[in-house]
Structure 1
Amino acid sequence: MREYDILVIGGGPAGINAALSASRKGLRVLLAEEKEFLGGQLIKQTHKFFGSKDEYAGTRGIQIVREFIEKINNDKNIDLMLSAMVMGYYEDGVVTILKDERMFKIKPKKVIVATGAFERSLPFENNDLPGIFGAGAVQTLMNVYGILPGKEVLMVGSGNIGLIVSYQLTQAGVKVKGIVEISEKIGGYLVHASKIRRLGIPIYTSYTIIKALGGRKVEGAIIENVKTHEKKEIKCDVVCLATGLSPLGDILNQMGCEMMYIPELGGFVPVRDDNLKTTIDNIFVAGDVAGIEEATAAMLEGELAGLYASYELTGEFDKRINEIKNRLAELRKTSTKIVSGLKKLNLNVDFIIEEQEELDELHRNGIPEKERIESVSNTEKAKFAVIECFQKIPCNPCVVSCPTNAIKMDTLNGLPKLEYDLCTGCGNCIGVCPGLAIFVVDKKKSSVFLPYEMLPLPEKGEKVDLLNRKGEKIADGKVLSIRKLKDKTNIVEVEVPEELIMEVRNIEVMR
């Protein structure tokens, strides 16, 4: 039997951070991961993270996981077991782990459960046809194994996952026929939705899928407006379901932890305190198994669980514990749903929720209204940044990137404000924005600088189609310059008709 100070179950962002934070306290840690690789969802996340620079904002998930793996492999206090399934936790504190057809007995002093979540399905006619995937499965096929799920995809669900995977499908050359959302408003970040609309992908709010068409495989789908009952038939060979996640807490049930059904947090979650300690002494939780949130919150929770479990073993309190709690509170200020769920657990969430805007066209279709665009344009300055970020979300890479301090935010969740007198139009903010929501216009050259992450990358002097915020061609243009950045968000400058300088927001390369 092997003895450890802390056993961490799950090698995703929460579990990795839990192991690393405990190791920094000099404790002996075993990190057990069911899959053959570390990283959890991070290994298939090619998009940039939101949040602050302290939590990897502006960095892609695949880059973050490489850094994590290097840290784990070089940490002498951490033993790693991959392809290892935790089978059970017993009254005497023994944990059994199955690996390579052998059963191992582990005796940890503390256990941190960071098993993540699983995808929800959706009931509709023919939902068992080949060609129906979960969004996570599609990401795994494309971003891990390099396999396309099909040629034409209908996405169901407009949360961040649905919007992000739709974008990634388009990057891979797949035609996304539309995004279906049962709510009357888009569920994910509006900058993601606007990015999708610039690609020409429609978003059908107040619609749901009622039937998949086809005999032996998916050949199309029927969607229906939940208000008017109008039906649309959409041809596709893949239906991708991005209809939410639920915490994967089976092992917590087996351990005897008290569970509570909280819809706002994704389903059954463990009852725990503000330090992520469950109702069973010595067992902690972190990440999506404790409630569905963004990966940034999972990483912070992992660190918190690791530090507090270490404190109980060493008696040495780390002030970083309180810093993490404050960071989590800041991240959660824009989510009334998450805060509502946490209150049901009687957790300390007595902070002021940021006011959210009322439903309008931007929330319905992802396209900002004329009034919003006018609010971020400047008729006097010749060259300046245009920040089309109109929703309060925790994100500030643009502020950090600005060399002249021209971009200001009151809080992490505030809206970015540009001081035109300070802005030089350098474009640094374009490349770091996770939502691809920043552009630079140059009135003297009649040009627009655009973020561009598609292939093929255009060449200087090449003729391209100029697209508006709906992805519609509105003119012909020419590429004036290309700035290739290390993080793969390239900046393309295109010559545009003078009267369209505030309308052109994307290009299509015609080859």
Structure 2
Amino acid sequence: MVKSPKKLKAIIVGAGPAGLTGAIAIAESIGSGEGILIVDEGIEAGGQLPKQTHKFFGHEGFFASVRGFEIGKRLVNKVNQLGVQIKLQTTVTGIYENGIVLYDRVNNIVEHYQADYILLATGATEKFLAFKNNTLPGVYGAGAVQTLMNQYKVLPGSSFLIVGAGNIGLIVAYQLIQAGAKVKAIVEASSKVGGYMVHANKVKRLGVPIYLNHTILEAIGHDRVEGAVIAQVNEKFQPIPGTEKEFVVDAICLAVGLQPNIELAAQTGAKIVYMPELGGYVPLRDENMKTTVDNVYIAGDLSSIEEATTAMIEGYIAGYNIAQKLSGKDLSEKINQMKSELAEFRKGPFSAKVRSGLEKFNIHFPAGGYREKVQESFGPKGKLRAIIECPQAIPCNPCETSCPSGAINVGGNINGIPEIDYEKCTGCGVCVMKCPGLAIFLVQEKEDYSIVGIPYELLPIPEKGQEVELLDRDGKVVGRGQIENVILNKRDKTHVVFLKVPTGMENVVRSFTLPKEDKEYVCRCEEITKEDIERVIDLGITDYEELRRVLRIGMGPCGGKTCRALTLQILSQKTGRAISDIELGMFRPPVIPTPFEAIVKYHEKKGVECDE
């Protein structure tokens, strides 16, 4: 007997931002999550959101200044509250005329469903790049790096070359630095940075160079990545001989773009068209996110490669349209509200390609109407005040909405470049902690020095009075300064570090680094420095055996072969005694680390029982 397929009102493929908001819109509108199923291949709902540790742009209605993984949690909690079922680690293996087939990897079972409506929010796949040795272990896509680093807490390398200066490449570079890795460089084949300049500026002032008009030629290594070769490219993106540069790295991260996952959309019978402005091959759809198949809707990166905010809005538009058909309710007000939100976000220059692509679908979005001029005034000297260094029109306004004195405005359109009314600015620093691009600083000129407030999201957190090296916008050392104060933001971890800098440097200094400690190690096994030994000698301990008991010097795997003689030299220098007059100390067995297993095997061979 053939088992009948399970009946659903709606099935949503993809538990990313578009799929989750689509489910919320349907369930809220029809009054229940019953009969609505979300299917996702991942181990955690949220799509890419659980990997995103940076704050989002946009406005507060769509989680501006909230970190991506927190957004994912909020959306998933809302979906759960509405009673929508989520099946994780489950793949839609096919969409047929008589239903949808899923493969549940957890239970190793295939299931068959029929749904009145299908919302495809399948996202996108990373593009790859052809270069010599690109299959070496240590060559990763940016998504894989974020998954390992931010979901599994595994750093896939210690020294990276990033290929691609779009938002993803810039964000991953910054997150790698936060995790303690070294980013040697970012390589971009284009003549300009493709992502937001605020993201680029974040990594540049940490000392990461961005090589424009460059590409990767080769990964160096045998069993794993040990280096990389890059070269400059001409206007046809062909490498220019003689411009090669070599980097010593153990990981290469490719962030060279995304392409929509269209396979399931094609299986529904939806028309697929090539639209490079939208990311490549995409399903043809209307302004309500409906494909050429009447009961199939799409949202998110499947419809066009954009940001998570537009994906969420498209999810709502698709969800409300499906709910309207399921319930018979008039949801046009909510649909039009979301369309207005989408139009506002897409007015800026970063949406130009998407707008031109959608024009070919006869879907029109207005452009312009936002402030493009960067403020030239930095306010009155001597007053603690904010300085905004946000040079591009991007859809973002948390600085405006968070300012308690109403001193900041973006000019009426969310894409506008912000300006400050310095008569209202109190220098409170709220905007510094809220800015997703870390593009706002605090400045004050004093009589003998100046103060610069820096947004800070790294470890360790410096302490008041600590000496630091001052860095400019390109991460170059421009002098030495001191930590004047630290304001900790325990809620979302964007702190403000106030630097005491030389007069005249307040508009130059935009970052800092803690001076590197040049330690002289004597015992490398136990990491004991010359300073450690001298400090204990100064306490009155002048016998080698006593030093060993206090510091564990010479008790590592080498048994003191390297450090014993050095320690005796330090004892001689500090006490004035000849080395020949200082006791060598005991030489205890074993002379090399010996496994207990070897000892047990010896006794077993001899037939002797070992005491437990």
TM-score scaled by length of structure 1: 0.94
Query: Partners in 2 of 1:21 and 1:348 — Cα distance?
Result: 24
RMSD between aligned residues: 1.7
Query: Partners in 1 of 2:59 and 2:371 — Cα distance?
Result: 20
Query: Partners in 2 of 1:241 and 1:297 — Cα distance?
Result: 24
Query: Deviations for 1:316-366, whole angstroms, at most 9, x for unmatched residues?
Result: 1221211111111111122211111111222132x1246898xxxxxxxxx
SS in 1 for 2:112: strand
Query: Partners in 2 of 1:243 and 1:232 — Cα distance?
Result: 20
Which of 196, 208, 215 in structure 2 is aligned with 1:201? Answer: 208
The residue identity in structure 1 corresponding to 2:383 is A
Which has the larger displacement, 267-276 or 439-448? 439-448
The residue identity in structure 1 corresponding to 2:499 is V
Question: In the alignment, which residue of structure 2 is the partner of 1:428?
Answer: 430
Q: Once the two structures are aligned, what percentage of the paired residues are identical?
A: 45
| 8 Å Cα contact 1:477/1:496 also seen in 2 | yes
Question: In the alignment, which residue of structure 2 is the partner of 1:367?
Answer: none
Which of 347, 352, 356 in structure 2 is aligned with 1:340? Answer: 356
Contiguous gaps of at least 5 residues in structure 2: 235-239, 517-612
Inter-CA distance 356–408: structure 2 relative to 1 (3 Å threshold): closer
Q: Does 1:352 find its partner at 2:357?
A: no
Question: In the alignment, which residue of structure 1 is the partner of 2:310?
Answer: 297
Which of 159, 162, 167 in structure 1 is aligned with 2:174? Answer: 167
Which has the larger displacement, 451-460 or 313-322? 313-322
Deviation at 1:224, TM superposition (A): 1.3
| 8 Å Cα contact 2:370/2:414 also seen in 1 | no
Query: Partners in 2 of 1:4 and 1:492 — Cα distance?
Result: 54
Which of 280, 298, 303 in structure 2 is aligned with 1:267? Answer: 280
| 8 Å Cα contact 1:389/1:416 also seen in 2 | yes
Which of 464, 467, 472 in structure 2 is aligned with 1:468? Answer: 472
Task: Map 1:216-255; keep pairs closer than 5 Å.
Answer: 216-227=223-234, 229=241, 230-255=243-268
Deviation at 1:89, TM superposition (A): 2.0
Question: In the alignment, which residue of structure 1 is the partner of 2:498?
Answer: 493
Query: Partners in 1 of 2:72 and 2:150 — Cα distance?
Result: 13
Question: In the alignment, which residue of structure 1 is the partner of 2:406?
Answer: 405
Query: Partners in 1 of 2:87 and 2:160 — Cα distance?
Result: 37
Which has the larger displacement, 228-237 or 438-447? 228-237
Query: Partners in 1 of 2:216 and 2:488 — Cα distance?
Result: 40
Task: Map 1:357-368; keep pairs closer than 5 Å.
Answer: none
Deviation at 1:56, TM superposition (A): 0.6
SS in 2 for 1:40: coil
Task: Map 1:21-420; keep pairs closer than 5 Å.
Answer: 21-25=25-29, 26-27=31-32, 28=34, 29-76=36-83, 78-92=84-98, 94-99=99-104, 100-227=107-234, 229=241, 230-318=243-331, 319-334=333-348, 335-349=351-365, 351-353=366-368, 375-380=376-381, 382-410=383-411, 411-420=413-422
Deviation at 1:379, TM superposition (A): 4.7
Query: Partners in 1 of 2:515 and 2:20 — Cα distance?
Result: 44
Contiguous gaps of at least 5 residues in structure 1: 358-370
Query: Partners in 1 of 2:148 and 2:207 — Cα distance?
Result: 24
The residue identity in structure 2 corresponding to 1:394 is P
Query: Partners in 2 of 1:386 and 1:178 — Cα distance?
Result: 28
Deviation at 1:31, TM superposition (A): 1.1
Deviation at 1:376, TM superposition (A): 4.5
| 8 Å Cα contact 1:376/1:387 also seen in 2 | no
Query: Partners in 1 of 2:85 and 2:182 — Cα distance?
Result: 44
Question: In the alignment, which residue of structure 1 is the partner of 2:7?
Answer: 3
| 8 Å Cα contact 2:384/2:442 also seen in 1 | yes
SS in 1 for 2:432: helix
Query: Partners in 1 of 2:96 and 2:161 — Cα distance?
Result: 45
Q: Does 1:510 find its partner at 2:510?
A: no
| 8 Å Cα contact 1:376/1:388 also seen in 2 | no
TM-score scaled by length of structure 2: 0.78
Query: Partners in 1 of 2:9 and 2:64 — Cα distance?
Result: 32
Query: Partners in 2 of 1:356 and 1:253 — Cα distance?
Result: 41
Deviation at 1:213, TM superposition (A): 1.5
The residue identity in structure 2 corresponding to 1:377 is F
SS in 2 for 1:499: coil
Deviation at 1:39, TM superposition (A): 0.7
| 8 Å Cα contact 2:381/2:445 also seen in 1 | no
Query: Partners in 1 of 2:101 and 2:453 — Cα distance?
Result: 56
The residue identity in structure 2 corresponding to 1:80 is I
Q: Does 1:437 find its partner at 2:427?
A: no
The residue identity in structure 1 corresponding to 2:22 is A
The residue identity in structure 1 corresponding to 2:20 is I
Query: Partners in 1 of 2:509 and 2:367 — Cα distance?
Result: 38
Query: Partners in 1 of 2:227 and 2:422 — Cα distance?
Result: 49
SS in 1 for 2:357: helix
Query: Deviations for 1:98-146, whole angstroms, at most 9, x for unmatched residues?
Result: 2122222212111100011110000111111111000000001100111
SS in 1 for 2:21: helix
Which has the larger displacement, 188-197 or 230-239? 230-239
Query: Partners in 2 of 1:258 and 1:210 — Cα distance?
Result: 38
| 8 Å Cα contact 1:409/1:416 also seen in 2 | yes
Question: In the alignment, which residue of structure 2 is the partner of 1:481?
Answer: 485
Query: Partners in 1 of 2:76 and 2:184 — Cα distance?
Result: 37
Query: Deviations for 1:385-427, whole angstroms, at most 9, x for unmatched residues?
Result: 1000010000000001111111111110001011111111111
SS in 2 for 1:500: coil
SS in 2 for 1:236: coil
SS in 2 for 1:59: coil
Equivalences, count: 494
Query: Partners in 2 of 1:140 and 1:432 — Cα distance?
Result: 25
Which has the larger displacement, 329-338 or 431-440? 329-338
